[in-house]
Amino acid sequence: MSTPSSVRDLAEHLADTARTIVCDGRDRLAMDIKSDGSPVTAIDRAVEKALREILAREAPDHGVLGEEFGPEGLDREYVWVLDPIDGTKHFAAGLPTFGVLIALCRNERPVLGIIEQPLTGERTLGIVGEGCWLNGRAVTTSGKTDVALTVAAIADPDAFDAAHDPGIQRLREATRWNVWDTGCLGYASLARGAVDIVVNGPNLDPFDICALVPVVEGAGGAITAWNGDALTLHSSGAIVASASASLHGTVRKLLTGP
């Protein structure tokens, strides 16, 4: 797909808006606990509300799926997927390890994604088949193929259950060293070659996943479910990304076992 400049401009406008709201309101946090036990802040809601208002005005024929306010028009050709604060626990704890995720899916397949870190001003934008950029500068993965030479970013240990723990242990033993609980920023690091593998457990939903796909693929990496399934608007569960297709095969074997 060749992405029209107007669509990319709209995505950047959404990210600009999110950055402003987060930076202006970070010191005025008000947090609630949702029915599933996860936290949500007033900033989460303010960001998603503002982005939905922009999309209603600028792209009224597109669908929207957001973490805080649900789905609209998921059967449409184009659907925007919004996670206003990915890493709300970190955000609420005053830590900078969170991001805003913005994705555009076409026919259920993620084709454009943004990982925005408002506090540092780092914006990683990926377009499938076109490339990946960090603040406008083209970036690529490390391209590594030997797992013994890799750095893996592994999600919060509490996110893995008994079925996934053995695979994580095999991966830890096979890699050079690991970092933990990097959230969406781990995928941005993979896209610019700083880490080589990123792994998440089974607690992900589509709004956690969709923006990551174009970033990783645009940078030359591979990203799938643990079982190798392609990631779509309806994907959930454990995912893994690697710096190259060859490495990805090796990593998936380690995760899923003999």
Note the pLDDT tens digit of each residue in 175-211.
999 999 999 999 999 999 999 999 999 999 999 999 9
Is the pLDDT at 1 greater than 50? The verdict is no
Helix residue spans in the chain (DSSP H)? 5-25, 42-58, 88-92, 165-174, 184-191, 206-209, 212-218, 245-256
- For the chain, state the CA radius of gyration: 17
Q: How far apart are CA 255 and CA 258, in angstroms?
A: 9
Question: In this structure, how many other beta carbons lie within 10 angstroms of the beta carbon of residue 161?
Answer: 11
CA distances from 164 to 27, 100, 203, 205 (A): 37, 27, 11, 17
The contacts of residue 165 (CB under 8 Å, 6+ apart) are none
**Nearest 5 degrees, angle CA 152-CA 156-CA 162?**
95
Note the pLDDT tens digit of each residue in 42-74.
888 999 999 999 999 999 999 999 988 989 999
Q: How far apart are CA 135 and CA 183, in angstroms?
A: 19
Is the pLDDT at 35 greater than 90? The verdict is no
245-256 vs 165-174: helix axis angle to the nearest 10?
130
Q: Which amino acid is residue 129, in one-letter code?
A: G
| Percentage of the chain exceeding pLDDT 90 | 82
Task: State the chain's mean pLDDT as an integer.
Answer: 93
DSSP symbols for 116-145: EETTTTEEEEEETTTEEEETTEE-------
Phi and psi for 237 in degrees, rounded to 5?
Answer: 100, -160
Note the pLDDT tens digit of each residue in 199-209.
999 999 999 99
Is the overall model pTM greater than 0.75, yes or no?
Answer: yes
Q: How far apart are CA 224 and CA 229, in angstroms?
A: 6
Phi and psi for 72 in degrees, rounded to 5?
Answer: -145, 120
Is the pLDDT at 2 greater than 70? The verdict is no
Q: How far apart are CA 15 and CA 92, in angstroms?
A: 20
- For residue 149, give the DSSP letter: G
What integer pLDDT is reported at residue 37 of this predicted model? 63
